[in-house]
Structure 1
Amino acid sequence: MSENHTPAASAPPGEELNRLIFRKLIPLLIAAYIIAFIDRTNIGLAKHHLEADLGISAAAYGLGAGLFFLAYSLCEVPSNLIMYRVGARLWITRIMVTWGLLSAAMAFVEGPTSFYILRVLLGAAEAGLFPGVMLYLTYWFGREQRARANGSFLVAVCLANILGAPIGGALLGLDGLFGWHGWQWMFVLEGIPAVILAVVVFKYLPNGPLDAKWLDPKQARDLTARLAKEQQEGAAASGTHSFAGVFKDKQILLVIAVYFTHQIAVYSLTYFLPSIIGEWGEMSDLTIGLLTALPWVAAAIGTLVLPRYATDGRRSRKILFGGMTSMVVGFTIGAVSSPALALVGFCIAAATFFVVQSILFAVPASRLAGAALAGGLALVNTLGILGGFVGPFAMGLIETATDNPSAGLWFVIALVAVGAAVSLNLKIQDPQMNGNKKESQVKA
């Protein structure tokens, strides 16, 4: 175990220290994830062009979109365990370089087979980034601040969709330049920034508080000690002390179940909203991109405002259930309404996407420590993000069968409703718990 995780007793850091950490780390992590998410999801804008230029059907597109997540999920746990041992700086740099190059290589897709292969490779390359950052944030923030820190990081997904859709739409307008299709330009020009930013990450991202030159050495030691002590107390209270024990922890399994349905909703909207909007009338790629961005503006607002209130178990559980329920309501409005009202419905659903996610990933961090935490966070993402395969794949099959991109929304609604019901059984520990305190379920 590295010195970053050495326990000792100390007082909790003040708000001033939290603000310093936010300022030094969160913007860089947000920038990295913005690029990652744009590179992961830009095929949503290319869907119709890939069909027209390469003959990739809606079902084949849905399969290719989902294959990313199968490869991603298989590599999550190994990736996070490697990061735990070699450090965040080196490993996140490696992830960014490989995914950037492979995302750019999507420009050379020639048909369904090469499309599938590159999506699998891209998933394997990016695996570990999200759970790696979730693990990394536990080195810096305690339970009371963790949902807020997770939510601040997840603003990147919102910004990626706000910026990525219009930028991607504009890049598609380069069609014909030097003999390339617009979607080829989009993949290349959106992949290269990941490689460039990787250099910045390697230079400026510390592995933990003890490596941060901008922290006073005593501050760094006290912060590291306090968080290690908090993790040990959480693991003692939950009774889960090893990675093998994670598979027997019912609360972690419930988190995975809720997260699975959540990811079905997020990626179904991510990959199929441009197609749904495109069915509303004759529009340019740029217009579709701008309208696609609106739900992600709502998501950004929700992510910035709500997670800061998840400061104890009771509040967290209420916000979690409310978020899942609002997703059901929003998707239902989107499925049955006129275009303008449907877009409002998608905004309602998206507003709580990452509020829910920030709370879900705070739960394992309150129950696990050390390598069990590294593996547990990755396991939650590994199994939960399979919803990112199931959602787009089911949406693609249903669209192919019905010739209606919106038809698959009812599948999403049903699964998210199940996830909302399951979330009521989650027990969320309070930040003030200690090693001798048994966790208790607080009714919402």
Structure 2
Amino acid sequence: MASIDGAAASTVAAGAVPRDQKATTALIIRKLMPLLVIAYVIAFIDRTNVALAKTHLEVDIGLTAAAYGFGAGLFFLTYALFEVPSNLIMHRVGARFWITRIMVSWGIVSAGMALVQGPTSFYVMRVLLGITEAGFFPGVMLYLTYWFGAEDRARATGLFLLGVCFANVIGGPLGGALLAMDGIWGFHGWQWLFVIEAIPALVLAVVIWKKLPDRPSDAKWLTPEEARAVEARAAEASAPETGESIWKALLGVQSLLAIGVYFCHQISVYTMTFFLPGIIGRWGTMGPITVGFLNSLPWIAATLGAIFVLRVSLDAKRSKALLIAGVLVMAVGMAIASNGGPAYSLVGFSIAASMFFVVQALIFTYPSSRLSGARLAAGIAFTNTCGLMGGFIGPTVMGVIEQSTGAATWGIVAMSGLLFLAALIALGLRRGDEARAA
């Protein structure tokens, strides 16, 4: 992915040949996506690095599997509760200021995780991390609707979600190396992990403040004509403004169907995120770096899926077919992973992960095609809020299952069943542009 160009290349030369739509879209991707992807890499590492620290926290502060699962999930509970107000604020004050604020506050709290001393302080810090990071993901989802038309939104969203893939590919080996610093200057390895991995959020917040334009009309690297064309295409992809109340829009049948699919999806994604390192650790005597490397393999598969499956523009009919197929692939992968052996588990998790972000990118094309203005800001956040409840329920239930049975097998079986249910729910989905064309 290309790097963000310097200031010298950030203005459009007078008299330059006008770019066509395809070239303009490519320029927007080059200018915006690297910065947003890097921010998401940092966000995901900071919210999930407790997975690598799990066994160390059990030894050093007496954290049980159930307490860990509950604390890991608490992040998503408070994150979810604050998403809708956060997105409504961003809609008013602009993406540049609000995303900068989010990054500064979550960086400070993430570093503060190094101070936890027992279950209670662990819960408190996870609650605070959820509050401070709330709004980042739905804020970016809203931000992308300012820049991309209907056929390019899934691709742009898929590129943004690569941040999760990169975070898990990078985060495993990096986290393992930081955990190996145990004892340096009298600090535990997990304390080094939380502090060092929080610093990039504070650094990148400064870059976001300086580089991120609020809207196409603020981008110095677009001509006024190009900016107007971009905003017009983006507006066409959203529903016309109506007098419908926000809550009526959020609780419509199509919104609830999208939420149902996303809820099942998120249970699988975050349960695997928080428990796969522990599952791998039980396969034999391995150091943290080896565990981190093996944990990264399914996320490499997720990266390949997001890059290659979402390369083409997708109309409403093809989006729905791909969404259903992707959820079914996830379900089959989880069923294979539940077989128990290391080889089966890694293959199964990799198959499931290959569709993680294809499915997630497609889900968010549904609310963005049916809502506009403040309703769009609230709708994207509300979809993510309800979906992220799966991020709370999944790890919590998985922790209880693991503690009561001594294995994660039945939790993985349950995830597979939920994904088959999600595929059935997805049959009823219909995008707004499809409905308006009917």
Q: TM-score, normalised by structure 2?
A: 0.93
> Are 1:49 and 2:56 an aligned pair?
yes
> Are 1:29 and 2:28 an aligned pair?
no
Offset of residue 13 of structure 1:
5.7
- Please name the residue that 1:385 is paired with: 388
Where do 1:394-405 residues align within 5 Å? 394-405=397-408
- Please name the residue that 1:205 is paired with: 212
Offset of residue 397 of structure 1:
0.3
Match of 1:318 among 317, 321, 337: 321
Match of 1:219 among 218, 226, 238: 226
Amino acid at match of 1:125: T
Amino acid at match of 1:199: V
- Please name the residue that 1:164 is paired with: 171
Does the 8 Å contact 2:340/2:409 carry over to 1? no
Amino acid at match of 2:189: G
Amino acid at match of 1:100: G
What CA distance in whole angstroms lies between the structure 2 residues aligned with 1:240 and 1:288?
54
Q: Deviations over 1:169-202 (max 9, x none)?
A: 1100000000001000000000111001000000
Does the 8 Å contact 1:12/1:223 carry over to 2? no
Where do 1:170-181 residues align within 5 Å? 170-181=177-188
What CA distance in whole angstroms lies between the structure 2 residues aligned with 1:101 and 1:324?
36
- Please name the residue that 1:93 is paired with: 100
Cα RMSD, aligned residues only: 1.6
Offset of residue 222 of structure 1:
2.4
- Please name the residue that 2:140 is paired with: 133
Offset of residue 117 of structure 1:
0.2
- Please name the residue that 1:8 is paired with: none
Q: Secondary structure at the match of 2:417?
A: helix
Q: TM-score, normalised by structure 1?
A: 0.92
What CA distance in whole angstroms lies between the structure 1 residues aligned with 2:52 and 2:275?
9
Question: Tell me, which stretches of 5 or more residues in structure 2 are unaligned?
Answer: 1-17
Amino acid at match of 1:33: Y
Amino acid at match of 1:72: Y
Does the 8 Å contact 1:240/1:367 carry over to 2? no
Q: Deviations over 1:240-295 (max 9, x none)?
A: 84422223421111000100000000000000000110111110000000000000
Offset of residue 416 of structure 1:
1.6
What CA distance in whole angstroms lies between the structure 2 residues aligned with 1:224 and 1:68?
35
What CA distance in whole angstroms lies between the structure 2 residues aligned with 1:12 and 1:379?
36
What CA distance in whole angstroms lies between the structure 2 residues aligned with 1:174 and 1:322?
44
Amino acid at match of 1:246: A
What CA distance in whole angstroms lies between the structure 1 residues aligned with 2:308 and 2:123?
38
Distance of aligned partners of 1:211 and 1:438 in 2 relative to their CA distance in 1, 3 Å threshold: closer
- Please name the residue that 1:360 is paired with: 363
Does the 8 Å contact 1:147/1:358 carry over to 2? yes
Does the 8 Å contact 2:149/2:236 carry over to 1? no
Aligned pairs, number: 421
Match of 1:331 among 326, 330, 334: 334
Match of 2:309 among 306, 313, 319: 306
What CA distance in whole angstroms lies between the structure 1 residues aligned with 2:140 and 2:411?
32
Amino acid at match of 1:306: V
Moved more, 201-210 or 336-345: 336-345
Offset of residue 310 of structure 1:
5.5
Question: Tell me, which stretches of 5 or more residues in structure 1 are unaligned?
Answer: 1-10
- Please name the residue that 1:147 is paired with: 154
Moved more, 420-429 or 36-45: 420-429
